[in-house]
Amino acid sequence: MAPHIQDQVYKSSLEDPETFWNHQADQLNWHKSPAKAFQKTTKTLKNGITHDHWNWFPGGKISTTYNCVDRHVLNGNGDAIAIIWDSPVTGLKEQYTYKQLLDEVETLAGVLREEGVKKGEVVLIYMPMIPSALFAMLAIARLGAIHAVVFGGFSPSSLAQRMEASRPKAIMTASCGIEGSKGPMGYKRLIEDAIKKSSFKPDKVIIWQREQLRWDPVKKEDGERNWQRLVKSARNRGLKAAAVPVKSSDGLYIIYTRTTGLPKGVVREAGGHAVGLNFSIKYMFGIHGPGDVMFTASDIGWVVGHSYIVYAPLLAGATTVLFEGKPVGTPDASTFWRIIEEYKVNTMFTAPTALRAIRREDGDNDYFEQIFGNRGGLRSLRALFLAGERSEPAIVQMYQKLLAKHCAGGAVVIDNWWSSESGSPISGIALSAEAGKDFNSKHRHAPLPIKPGSAGKAMPGFDVRVVDDDGKELPLGSMGNIVMAIPLAPTAFTTLWEDEDRFYRGYLKRFNGKWIDTGDAGMIDEEGYISIMSRSDDIINVAAHRFSTGAIEQAVTSHPDIAECAVVGIPDSLKGHLPFAFVTLSTHHHPHPAVPDERLFREVQKLVREQIGPIASLGGMIQGKGMIPKTRSGKTLRRVLRELAENATHNEFEKAVQVPTTIEDADVVEVARAKIKEYFMHKGKDLHKAPEARAKAKL
Ligand code: AMP
């Protein structure tokens, strides 16, 4: 049997990257064509270490904004809708055609140029999910400057750290953000505090005034400027800025990513980013151009937002839905579906944590069925993409069923794995794999089958391998460290902002420059499907057997009463560590004490034993609501739970734990602490008993 087209495309991308990526580069407008697609180079660090490096599209000059906006207007698609803004938190909705978007962006770029922003300089964006945030990103890029978007709502100290690291010429912000149903949160104090804390001071703060809460007063003497007034004045004078092309290797943006120490600035290069994203949106996400609608429910502060709210849909000339709201509470768990129906969305992208939040509110889809059950309004939806965290099979299957019943024929749920560093999915299932061969093909083929629990197969340009701790490749089906060979695909980073040493230390050193370390652990099966099971440092060592938190969580969540779960390792005198589960039950089973009832624990334990093996038996299970801490981007903070649980095994219930500043809600840590205390007061003594006694106590 001939290999599936996705496998053929992948193979050709690795065998002949030059032809493959040149073909993709030809789909864009270059101010100067690149000499070639790919060039391997080396870099030498200050300490004399030399390592392999690579460049995409050397010699080329490009403007990302021109390709995202001007190109479509010049091609006669100016009246197509570029952006739909839907904001349940304000009750507002707006739409912008490509023509209107061009007008906004070239005027704002004119303003920024007048305010002193030059090519190569950094401008920091700290904004809520409103259209002007997208105008800002595109206007900065239009000048050949570099944006650093920081999630609106991050604390002044997180913001100050990012300010110090990126040294922005200006900050573009708004008077307030609106966090779900919590109402407006003023940004004035946050920004002013951050500037006070940072040793680097930006020249200007440009403020978008929102009606819900104004920034008052705007202190001109401190460099503060009223955004709308500047734009108005520019319009009156007909001030506009043309697109400034930059070298392929010049930075388009910096994005700061997860780290325990100082923020790590991933640099996205202009050429590779534009080519790789324009490819991926068509090939993988099935969004080809005008008439196609993409809804990415994320935030522009994260890489998913950069790529699939902003750049990729606009590169394709499609419509992007910008959503200012939450999966639940704005006003309820039907919001995502309402948007899909209202705007005839074709591809939706979100994080599994959003679906879990919906499931907690509407576990049996009763409410969903009440509203959408019979009216067939969701038939436009062809796929639901999930990324950011592992999607457990239970959640994939639940939504796959829902899509099969209510959405387009053949609609699929697609788990895809990637990172800030990669810029686009490293693995997944391509919805329109023909787009890899015949670029403009709209033909729908059957995608590769989905395997729930797997994040699909490697995407073109990403050479993914599984290795042991010495960097030796492991046979298919073995769990190990997931690494990638050089080069990475064009959307991926090639360095960290002004810190090549840290790039080497963080990604190359572990395997002596041979592989790029992703920090993730998992496996690749015989058919090439990749499963990401946990971060490498979340692996639990039980009696010399290594288990991933993801595998155990998968077994626990296969119990129908469990809506959400986080597993961590707790110290055990005999086995080194034991897996310990934190679970949230589906709505109809609360209120619940920290200690689960015997029956539930026995059933869950049975599932773990059956699906993983008796050696992975849980050392305990705590149940509770609102006790699993998450980052603002929805990632479970297992490390915090691990520290709390570990302290509890020494009876140190109140001991301070390291909580990252990126936590969504710090109160959750205290709920977890109280739950752990309640649990250990009841059960803790048993944890230290000999295994036989522990078995008897049926912990
Ligand atoms: P970030 O750079 O903040 O986007 O985080 C990237 C990390 O999120 C990856 O290295 C993974 O640990 C995790 N991640 C993202 N997508 C997935 C996925 N589909 N399955 C499992 N883990 C994921």
Phi, psi for 288 (deg, rounded to 5): -105, -30
Q: Does residue 55 fall inside a structural domain?
A: yes
390 lines ligand 1 (CB under 6 A): yes
- 170-174 and 264-269 beta bridge pairing: unpaired
- Ligand 1 atom with the smallest distance to the CA of 420 is 2
Whether residue 378 is found in the same domain as residue 274:
no
Q: Does residue 96 fall inside a structural domain?
A: yes
CA separation for the pair 244, 114 (Å, rounded): 15
For 68-72, 242-246, 470-474, 548-552, which range has the lowest pLDDT when averaged over its residues?
A: 548-552
Q: Does residue 302 fall inside a structural domain?
A: yes
CB 616 within 8 A of CB 591: no
CB 34 within 8 A of CB 57: yes
Calculate the alpha carbon distances from 201 to 148, 278, 612 in Å.
15, 36, 53
Whether residue 148 is found in the same domain as residue 38:
yes
- Is the pLDDT at 444 greater than 70? The verdict is no
415 lines ligand 1 (CB under 6 A): yes
Lookup: tokens for 35: 């000499």
CA separation for the pair 17, 5 (Å, rounded): 17
- Measured in angstroms, how far is the CA atom of residue 146 from the centroid of ligand 1? 24
Whether residue 158 is found in the same domain as residue 296:
yes
Lookup: tokens for 56: 């995409």
- Measured in angstroms, how far is the CA atom of residue 416 from the centroid of ligand 1? 9
List all residues 6 or more positions away from 220 whose beta carbon is below 8 Å from its beta carbon: none
Q: Does residue 183 fall inside a structural domain?
A: yes
3-state secondary structure 625-666: CCCCCEECCCCECHHHHHHHHHHHHCCCCCCCCCCCCCECCC
For residue 276, give the nearest of 459, 104, 5 by alpha carbon. 459
Phi, psi for 454 (deg, rounded to 5): -110, 145
Percent with pLDDT over 70 in the chain: 95
- Measured in angstroms, how far is the CA atom of residue 140 from the centroid of ligand 1? 28
Average pLDDT over residues 362-385: 93
Average pLDDT over residues 3-26: 96
Binned at pLDDT 50, 70 and 90, residue 688 comes out as: very low
CA separation for the pair 280, 288 (Å, rounded): 10
Binned at pLDDT 50, 70 and 90, residue 263 comes out as: confident
Best residue among 264, 424, 520 to mutate for probing ligand 1's pocket (most ligand atoms within 8 Å of CB) is 520
- The CATH number given to whatever domain includes residue 677 is 3.30.300.30
CB 133 within 8 A of CB 125: yes
Provide the domain limits for residue 684: 547-696
519 lines ligand 1 (CB under 6 A): yes
Share the mean pLDDT of the chain.
93
416 lines ligand 1 (CB under 6 A): yes
- What value, to the nearest 5°, has the Cα angle with vertex 444 and ends 429 and 353? 35
Average pLDDT over residues 7-28: 97
Q: Does residue 68 fall inside a structural domain?
A: yes
Whether residue 286 is found in the same domain as residue 431:
yes
- Measured in angstroms, how far is the CA atom of residue 527 from the centroid of ligand 1? 22
CA separation for the pair 484, 505 (Å, rounded): 16
Binned at pLDDT 50, 70 and 90, residue 633 comes out as: confident
For residue 19, give the nearest of 418, 460, 424, 433 by alpha carbon. 460
**Total number of domains constituting the chain:** 3
- Is the pLDDT at 104 greater than 50? The verdict is yes
CB 59 within 8 A of CB 38: no
419 lines ligand 1 (CB under 6 A): yes
Listed residues 415, 433, 467: the one ending a domain: 415
Binned at pLDDT 50, 70 and 90, residue 258 comes out as: confident
CA separation for the pair 100, 8 (Å, rounded): 40
What pLDDT, on a 0 to 100 scale, did the predictor assign at position 394?
92
The protein residue whose alpha carbon is closest to atom 19 in ligand 1 is 417
Whether residue 33 is found in the same domain as residue 57:
yes
* Sheet (strand 347-350) strand order: 92-97, 81-87, 319-323, 293-296, 347-350, 383-386, 412-415
3-state secondary structure 498-540: CCHHHHHHHHHHHHCCCCEEEEEEEEECCCCEEEEEEEHHHCE
CA separation for the pair 13, 210 (Å, rounded): 47
Lookup: tokens for 12: 């050709």
What pLDDT, on a 0 to 100 scale, did the predictor assign at position 574?
86
List all residues 6 or more positions away from 196 whose beta carbon is below 8 Å from its beta carbon: none
- Ligand 1 atom with the smallest distance to the CA of 550 is 21
CB 654 within 8 A of CB 674: no
Cα torsion for 287, 289, 290, 295, to the nearest 10°?
A: 30
Q: Does residue 672 fall inside a structural domain?
A: yes
Whether residue 271 is found in the same domain as residue 364:
no
Lookup: tokens for 610: 């059956």
534 lines ligand 1 (CB under 6 A): no
- Ligand 1 atom with the smallest distance to the CA of 631 is 3
Whether residue 137 is found in the same domain as residue 286:
yes
What pLDDT, on a 0 to 100 scale, did the predictor assign at position 699?
41
For 45-54, 75-84, 239-248, 422-431, which range has the lowest pLDDT when averaged over its residues?
A: 45-54
What pLDDT, on a 0 to 100 scale, did the predictor assign at position 689?
46
- The CATH number given to whatever domain includes residue 238 is 3.40.50.12780
Best residue among 257, 389, 424 to mutate for probing ligand 1's pocket (most ligand atoms within 8 Å of CB) is 389
CA separation for the pair 197, 201 (Å, rounded): 9
Whether residue 361 is found in the same domain as residue 260:
no
538 lines ligand 1 (CB under 6 A): no
Percent with pLDDT over 90 in the chain: 83
- Is the pLDDT at 261 greater than 90? The verdict is no
pLDDT in tens, 133-169: 999 999 999 999 999 999 998 889 889 999 999 999 9
Number of residues that this document lists for the chain: 699
- Ligand 1 atom with the smallest distance to the CA of 518 is 10
CB 21 within 8 A of CB 248: no
Whether residue 397 is found in the same domain as residue 441:
no
CA separation for the pair 239, 38 (Å, rounded): 38
| DSSP string across 377-442 | TTTT--EEEE-SSPPPHHHHHHHHHHHHHHSSTT-EEEE-B--TTTSS-SEE--TTGGGGTSTT--
Question: Which three-class secondary structure state does DSSP give residue 102?
Answer: helix
Q: Percent helix, strand, coil in the chain (nearest 5)?
A: 35, 25, 40
Radius of gyration of the chain (CA): 25
Whether residue 411 is found in the same domain as residue 430:
no
- Is the pLDDT at 546 greater than 70? The verdict is yes
CA separation for the pair 493, 508 (Å, rounded): 13
Whether residue 181 is found in the same domain as residue 301:
yes
The protein residue whose alpha carbon is closest to atom 7 in ligand 1 is 419
Binned at pLDDT 50, 70 and 90, residue 443 comes out as: low
Q: Does residue 484 fall inside a structural domain?
A: no
List all residues 6 or more positions away from 684 whose beta carbon is below 8 Å from its beta carbon: 648, 649, 651
413 lines ligand 1 (CB under 6 A): no
- Is the pLDDT at 119 greater than 80? The verdict is yes
3-state secondary structure 602-625: HHHHHHHHHHCCHHHCCCEEEECC
Whether residue 423 is found in the same domain as residue 444:
yes
CA separation for the pair 666, 392 (Å, rounded): 25
Average pLDDT over residues 350-370: 91
What is the distance, to the nearest Å, from the Cα of residue 435 to the centroid of all Cα atoms in its chain? Answer: 24
Cis, bond preceding 614 (omega within 30 deg of 0)? no
Calculate the alpha carbon distances from 89 to 85, 93, 179, 332, 631 in Å.
12, 10, 8, 11, 22
For residue 147, the cross-strand partners are: 123, 253
For 279-283, 312-316, 539-543, which range has the lowest pLDDT when averaged over its residues?
A: 539-543
- Measured in angstroms, how far is the CA atom of residue 390 from the centroid of ligand 1? 7
Q: Across the chain, how many H-helices and E-strands are there?
A: 22, 31
Q: Does residue 468 fall inside a structural domain?
A: no
Binned at pLDDT 50, 70 and 90, residue 693 comes out as: very low
pTM of the model: 0.92
